[in-house]
């Protein structure tokens, strides 16, 4: 079980050790979603499943999206774990093929609510699910001084901490830090928050994100 005293590396190890304990149950979720897609006629179609592992008692959320009927064979899949600390709920999203993890702290979801969703009535649990429902991956770039200046203009409290990750997403731009094979995504801003003289900084990053999704999903997200 993920506990508050764990380091980010220990959390990463815990999640990857627990993956083997959910293989059988996810096979069942796969079959259930495929049947659902074949029965429906309106798309996109999304469904999420929750599972607490029996051995380690970790909560995982497995989400599926079909953009069209033929996606029943290969739906888009979102997979992440949720754990709590005194300051709030965190998410850890493993990337199995790269053996990396991305951690989203409570502050990230606070900013997501304020800046992207703009709705104080949605529960924290639903805010987390909403983010990943609308998540189409990340396209990252090397951080330069312009990125840091934009980050510092929106995150006054963290001016003493350098960022090492900037990424385009379907919902805005994310900033964070990298610790070995673990990415910690600290905050998010929307496109509309940028001044005109800041937008060019992210132009190539947005272009790369759109190209990635066009190649992967056949459309610009």
Closest CA to 81 of 9, 47, 132: 132
Let me know if residue 113 belongs to a domain.
Answer: no
pLDDT value of residue 129:
94
Asked whether the predicted pLDDT for residue 61 surpasses 80, the reply is: yes
Residues 33 and 97 in one domain: yes
Let me know if residue 114 belongs to a domain.
Answer: no
Asked whether the predicted pLDDT for residue 207 surpasses 80, the reply is: yes
Q: How confident is the model at residue 160 (pLDDT cuts 50, 70, 90)?
A: low
Residues 19 and 72 in one domain: yes
For the chain, the domain total comes to 2
Q: Which domain-ending residue is among 104, 123, 147?
A: 104
Asked whether the predicted pLDDT for residue 157 surpasses 80, the reply is: no
Q: Give the Cα separation of 60 and 51 in Å (integer).
A: 5
Q: How far is CA 216 from the centre of its chain?
A: 17
Let me know if residue 9 belongs to a domain.
Answer: yes
Let me know if residue 122 belongs to a domain.
Answer: no
Residues 96 and 176 in one domain: no
Let me know if residue 117 belongs to a domain.
Answer: no
Residue 166's SS3 state is strand
Asked whether the predicted pLDDT for residue 22 surpasses 80, the reply is: yes
pLDDT value of residue 32:
96
Let me know if residue 118 belongs to a domain.
Answer: no
Q: Give the Cα separation of 175 and 151 in Å (integer).
A: 7
Residues 196 and 144 in one domain: yes
Residues 72 and 150 in one domain: no
Let me know if residue 111 belongs to a domain.
Answer: no
Q: Which residues, 6 or more positions from 110, have their beta carbon under 8 angstroms from its beta carbon? A: none
Q: Which domain-ending residue is among 61, 87, 104?
A: 104
Let me know if residue 34 belongs to a domain.
Answer: yes
Q: How confident is the model at residue 159 (pLDDT cuts 50, 70, 90)?
A: low
Residues 52 and 8 in one domain: yes
pLDDT value of residue 21:
86
Q: How confident is the model at residue 221 (pLDDT cuts 50, 70, 90)?
A: low
Asked whether the predicted pLDDT for residue 219 surpasses 80, the reply is: no
Query: For the chain, what is the mean pLDDT?
Result: 92
Residues 99 and 190 in one domain: no
Residues 143 and 100 in one domain: no
The residue to which tokens 């764990």 are assigned: 6
Q: Give the Cα separation of 60 and 129 in Å (integer).
A: 11
Residues 89 and 144 in one domain: no
Choice between 36 and 95, residue whose per-residue pLDDT is larger: 36
Residues 141 and 217 in one domain: yes
Q: Which domain-ending residue is among 53, 82, 104?
A: 104
Domain extent for 192? 137-221
pTM for this prediction? 0.93
108-154 pLDDT per residue, tens: 999 999 999 999 999 999 999 999 999 988 999 989 999 999 999 99
Closest CA to 55 of 22, 9, 10: 22
């Amino acid at each position: 079980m993920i506990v508050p005293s764990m380091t980010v590396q220990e959390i990463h190890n815990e999640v990857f050790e627990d993956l083997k304990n959910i293989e059988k149950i996810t096979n069942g979720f796969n079959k259930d979603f495929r049947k659902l897609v074949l029965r429906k006629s309106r798309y996109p179609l999304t469904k999420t499943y929750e599972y607490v592992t029996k051995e380690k008692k970790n909560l995982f959320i497995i989400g599926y999206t079909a953009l069209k009927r033929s996606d029943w064979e290969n739906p888009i899949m979102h997979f992440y774990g949720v754990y709590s600390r005194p300051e709030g709920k965190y998410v850890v999203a493993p990337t199995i093929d790269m053996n990396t993890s991305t951690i989203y702290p409570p502050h990230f979801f606070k900013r997501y609510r304020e800046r992207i969703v703009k709705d104080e009535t949605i529960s924290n649990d639903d805010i987390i699910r909403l983010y990943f429902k609308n998540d189409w991956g990340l396209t990252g770039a090397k951080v330069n001084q312009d990125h840091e200046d934009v980050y510092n203009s929106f995150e006054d409290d963290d001016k003493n901490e350098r960022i090492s990750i900037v990424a385009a997403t379907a919902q805005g731009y994310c900033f964070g830090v990298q610790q070995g094979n673990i990415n910690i995504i600290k905050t998010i801003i929307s496109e509309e928050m940028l001044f005109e003289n800041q937008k060019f900084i992210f132009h190539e990053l947005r272009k790369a994100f759109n190209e990635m999704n066009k190649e992967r999903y056949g459309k610009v997200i």
